[in-house]
Amino acid sequence: MKYKRILLKLSGESLMGDKQFGIDNNRLAQYATEIKEIADKGVEIGIVIGGGNIFRGIQAVEGGMDRVQGDFMGMLATVINSMALQSALEGKGMQTRLLTAIKMEEIAETFIRRRAVRHLEKGRVVIFGAGTGNPYFTTDSAASLRAIEIEADVVLKGTRVDGIYNADPEKDKSATKFDTISFDDVYAKGLNVMDLTAFTLCKENELPIIVFNMDKPGTLLKVVQGDKVGTLVS
């Protein structure tokens, strides 16, 4: 395996599958199978999931809600997704731990960096819920931050597309894909990989990012093995 310890970032929307809202159990089961496949090969796995399939703080603001209140509601949505994924992984016989940035003793452990690293060393899949615990920060920022804290080798951003393109491939059929690209080129071309806070955190800490299609079975394993899949930002 090329990468020994990874941080996998999944969007909340990806859990919807073909639904308009909420969680698709088939998609959840598929992700659990993919994650088990790499865990069985000894890869240490941290996971951050968004909450957009349930609630988005930004949308709440557009409706007139207080931004801070909306962001905290979004953090709770990520915990719901994290619990669903935890259940799916444990259904496959895996050891997991859910650590949250907001105290919820009955549901999860509170995030402590040393504890998270210890869980990873023991072969447990560690899911990080509730973002960074702070408003105005996205789950992309949470993924970058947690990856740096646990000293992950790479951030793997699972999306619906198979990498970074010079235009939206779902709208522009002539869009071309980058196999590799530098952090500086992403800035220069104005490409949307992660929000700028999250992206800059990775750049400053020399943490590579791989964007790949999580919905295509077997791709996660290929990425971790070091196959030329998706787009590598370094």
Q: What does the buried/exposed string (b/e) look like for 188-227 if buried means 16 or more CB atoms within 10 Å of the residue's CB?
A: eeebebbeeebbebbbeeebbbbbbbbbeeebbbebbeee
User: Which tens digit of pLDDT belongs to each residue from 64-94?
Assistant: 999 999 999 999 999 999 999 999 999 999 9
**What pLDDT does residue 130 have?**
98
Which of 65, 43, 53, 32 minimizes the C-alpha distance to 152? 43
C-alpha–C-alpha distance, residues 116 and 48, integer Å: 13
Q: What is the mean pLDDT of the chain?
A: 96
Residue-wise pLDDT for 12-52, tens only, equals 999 999 899 999 999 999 999 999 999 999 999 999 999 99
| pLDDT value of residue 229 | 95
Residue at 181: amino acid letter: I
- Per residue in 203-215, pLDDT (tens digit) is 999 999 999 999 9
> At residue 231, does pLDDT exceed 90?
yes
pLDDT digits 0-9 by tens, 142-172: 999 999 999 999 999 999 999 999 988 888 9
pLDDT exceeds cutoff 90 at 58: no
Residues forming beta bridges with residue 46, ordered by sequence position: 7, 126
What the block records as the tokens of 170 is: 């779902």
Distance, first Cα to last Cα, the chain: 19
Helices 196-204, 139-149: crossing angle, 10 deg rounding = 20
Is pTM beyond 0.85? Reply is yes
- The yes-or-no verdict on residue 184 having pLDDT over 90 is yes
Report the pLDDT value the prediction gives residue 62, as an integer from 0 to 100: 86
**Which superfamily, per CATH, for 5-233?**
Acetylglutamate kinase-like (3.40.1160.10)
DSSP string, 57-109: HHHHHHTT--HHHHHHHHHHHHHHHHHHHHHHHHHTT--EEEEESS--TTT-E
- What secondary structure does DSSP assign to 102-158, as a single string? S--TTT-EEP-HHHHHHHHHTT-EEEEESTTSSTT--HHHHHHHHHHHTT-SEEEEE
